[in-house]
Chain A
């Protein structure tokens, strides 16, 4: 089954304790992205990756790191979590994006989310 898998689903941690949220997709998608979703603010992009070893900042990258060593995996790293990073996080992937005709319409496939609480 084609899917984006995030782990863990729920995570409670303390300020400053490094954590990693994993994301894996089995659809051979080039594009992957991380979002956070907060009440009243909608989905905001944290980081994205156009392909292996190509990553870039989204709208709210502060306090986060990512890596894309393999096409299928795109982990989100919080080196020193703070309470303002308490949120619902989603990983997403799509077939491709780019300037070529027809590529500005690839739907995003989302994981089931990771609810992170930082105390």
Chain B
């Protein structure tokens, strides 16, 4: 079955450094991957989408890469700030009606 995996361990980094989160997928080749941010007790918020024919996508301090050979997407936050602390989810549509989410990686940025 299609599976999308994220490192479930929390990531703690120093303010100002680049945070890198990983999303791996197995048993399929998604045409798109989406990234969401979720704050505690709140609904996920869409951040970025990357297509399989795009190597890289940027939005302000965010960058997403998509490596179809490694079956992996990386999500980078440059010049990280404490306000970036949240859980980040990757997701993709497995069919017209269903979007599969990874379990998310909790990111903590310490001042």
In whole Å, how far is A37's beta carbon from the nearest beta carbon of chain B?
Answer: 9
Q: Does A103 contact B103, Cβ atoms closer than 8 Å?
A: no
Q: Does B44 contact A110, Cβ atoms closer than 8 Å?
A: yes
Chain A residues whose CB sits within 8 angstroms of the CB of B41 once the complex forms: 88, 113, 115
Chain B residues whose CB sits within 8 angstroms of the CB of A109 once the complex forms: 46
Q: Taking CB as reference atom, which chain A residue is nearest B44?
A: A110
A117 at interface by CB-CB < 8 Å:
no
Q: Taking CB as reference atom, which chain A residue is nearest B50?
A: A105
Q: How many A-B pairs with Cβ below 8 Å?
A: 60
How distant is the Cα of A4 from the Cα of B43 in the complex, in angstroms?
10
Binary per-residue interface labels of chain B (5-42) against chain A in the complex, 1 for a CB within 8 Å, 0 otherwise: 00000000000000000000000000110101000011
How many residues in B have their beta carbons less than 8 Å from beta carbons of A? 23
Chain B residues whose CB sits within 8 angstroms of the CB of A88 once the complex forms: 41
How distant is the Cα of A95 from the Cα of B62 in the complex, in angstroms?
24
B96 at interface by CB-CB < 8 Å:
yes
Q: Which of A's residues lie within 8 Å of B, judged by CB?
A: 4, 31, 33, 40-43, 45, 48, 50, 56, 58, 88, 90, 92, 97-99, 103-105, 107-113, 115
